[in-house]
Amino acid sequence: MSAPRWSDPGVHVAPAGVPPERVGPIGTERTVAVCRLGEHPTKASLLDGLADALDLPEWFGRNWDALADSLCDLPRPTVLLIDGLGRLDDAVAATLLEVAVRAAWDKRRGPATLSVVLTDELA
């Protein structure tokens, strides 16, 4: 069985210590968005970082439902790299993973696939 490509739909975990810039190859036909979480990330800082990384509109609601809708409505195939998941509160991390998995496999996405790659450069 071959290893998944980072751009395959779904949620992937990069090896510990690999920074987002070293994850690849991804391909040029995809939008690549990088969200780096700070030293002590919160749900609010996570949602702000995702809004910035994905260039979500100002009216983005900064809650889990709004994130799920936004991830399902991305206009192009997207690889979202999230660095620092291990620094999040367990409940926030679990909810993020649930939202990401559902969005990556949502049948409404059509050809605009979503791949979420989790890295933890400081691990």
- 29 within a domain of the structure (yes/no): yes
- The per-residue pLDDT for 123 is 43
**Residue 53 CA neighbour count, 13 Å, CB half:** 23
- Mean of the per-residue pLDDT values for the chain? 86
What is residue 109's predicted lDDT score, i.e. its pLDDT?
A: 61
Which CATH number is 20's domain given? 3.30.370.10
Residue 5 lies in a domain: no
103-119 residue pLDDT tens: 988 866 666 789 899 88
- State which residues form the domain around 114: 10-119
Q: Say yes or no to pLDDT of 120 above 70.
A: yes
CA terminus-to-terminus distance, the chain: 27
Q: How many domains does the chain fold into?
A: 1
Residue 25, domain member (yes or no): yes
Q: What is the per-residue pLDDT across 24-45, written as a single tens digit (0 to 9) for each?
A: 767 778 888 999 999 999 999 9
pTM recorded for the entire structure: 0.86
Q: Would you say residue 2 lies in a domain? A: no
**Do residues 115 and 12 touch, judged by C-beta distance below 8 A?**
yes
